[in-house]
Amino acid sequence: MTGDDDVCRTANQRPSDESEQQVSVQTARSRLLEMISPLTRVETRSLRGCRGRVVADSIRAKRTIPNHNRAAIDGWAVQSADMSDATDQQQHQLSIVGAHTDVDANPPSKAPIEEGTAVRVESQATLPSEADAVVHSKDVIINDGLLEISRTYERGENVITVGDDIESGSVIFESGHQLQSSDLGVLKSAAIDEVTLYQRPTVGIIPAGEQLVQTDPGPDERIETNTLTISGLLQQWDAIPTHRNVVRDDQPVLRAAIQRDLTKDVIVTVGDSVMTGANALSRVVRELGQILVRRVALNPGYQIALGVIEETPIVMLPSNPLDAIANSIVFLSPLVAHVGRFDQFDPPTTTGQLSQEISSSEGVRKLIQVQLTHPSHADSHPVVEPIDVTKMGVRSSVALTDGWIILPEEIERVSRGTEIDVYHWGVTWRQRVVRVTAWVKNRLESADAKEQQ
């Protein structure tokens, strides 16, 4: 919630033409998210495959960690009482268990220890039951089979005691925690075999348009590609996308397709512009629910509509691939995170140096496709080169994109040479090499074909 009057009013209080007004990205997001509740469906799963999933019920430990006293460092397990008189001037001597005089020797940490003796231990190793301190190797000298210690050690020093980490019965993770890879190891250590998780959000994608086909386009047709692109992004964001064949831009057909997908947590349509309220999609959404937003101060991607039908959000993406990707990044990603109770997806970034000045209109958030040129010197930033979409096809520019830079609404101009962050949404350097190679090969083959004609 932003606190804006138009955001805080309830849907019933909004003027009927409010959705026609251009709003900021933040206002559009808030207007949609305030209408949608996170999902509540849960499932119980084993630990395998739980990374990234959200905990539904608090998880309590079934085992104390550690369940035995352990060494916090590599060193020597001792009884602290043996060293009460150790000083720099008067070293205390202890016998090494097993007569191991080599500092690199590693007698078993479970070897018995008695008064006046020491045993070598590694970090995290279980201490002999009689030991209550671990002497650091820097404080000892091994001389003629004896361990000479130059200072006193307190009871418990350099020791991880039973239950220091986790007590049996204590809460390890609260409901709402998103599990990371390291968390799974903690759960296994605490004798947790399975956990109750919120289910991943489902997203139904409906491509719509009269000229869209899956293969072999005719003169007035084009291949529908947005579904694959958006499905890949949704999988990266831990959602479960499903999609159907292209449907006609016809009111009864669209209504049936949308009603079938009301079983999903989110509906996404991809098709022609929804800027006017007269087209078939707009009429269907208004008939079944309401349109909340139709104009957003975003470039590319201002042609997007956001709505809700029976508490199910519907994101109406334009057919232009760049607009569809930009809208997915700006609106679909936070929507999936909200519905699925995930942390907002944080893409990897690269800091680079702008090759030229970039600009935007006041009050408009701008996303700019860029390529990265990596310098020969390892300590230099890569060069960030904005892609001129007017000099190549839209799909070619998508294939050649290494990442995106974001120009916030309050910034209208960034100078050449400025260090700037590049966001990588689903693009790696290896993937880019493959894409560029395929693109170049296709262009060469096309050129050869024209020459032969």
Q: Which domains does the chain have, with CATH numbers?
A: 5-41+200-340 (3.40.980.10), 43-63+174-198 (3.90.105.10), 70-160 (2.170.190.11), 349-452 (2.40.340.10)
Out of 9-23, 166-180, 254-268, 341-355, pick the least confident: 9-23
For residue 1, what pLDDT is reported?
32
Rounded to whole angstroms, the Cα distance separating 304 from 376 reads 42
Answer yes or no: are the C-beta atoms of 367 and 421 closer than 8 Å: no
Q: How confident is residue 451, by pLDDT bands cut at 50, 70 and 90?
A: low
For residue 449, what pLDDT is reported?
64
Angle, alpha carbons 198-203-206 (nearest 5°): 170
Percent of the chain with pLDDT over 90: 49
Out of 88-102, 162-176, 235-249, 399-413, pick the least confident: 88-102
**What distance lies between CA 47 and its chain's CA centroid?**
19
- Look at residues 152, 262, 253, 9 and name the one whose alpha carbon lies nearest to residue 1: 9
Answer yes or no: are the C-beta atoms of 78 and 153 closer than 8 Å: yes
* pLDDT tens by residue, 265-301: 999 999 865 555 558 899 999 999 999 998 899 999 9
Rounded to whole angstroms, the Cα distance separating 340 from 199 reads 7
Out of 148-152, 350-354, 443-447, pick the least confident: 443-447
* pLDDT tens by residue, 145-188: 788 887 888 899 999 999 888 999 999 999 999 999 999 999 99
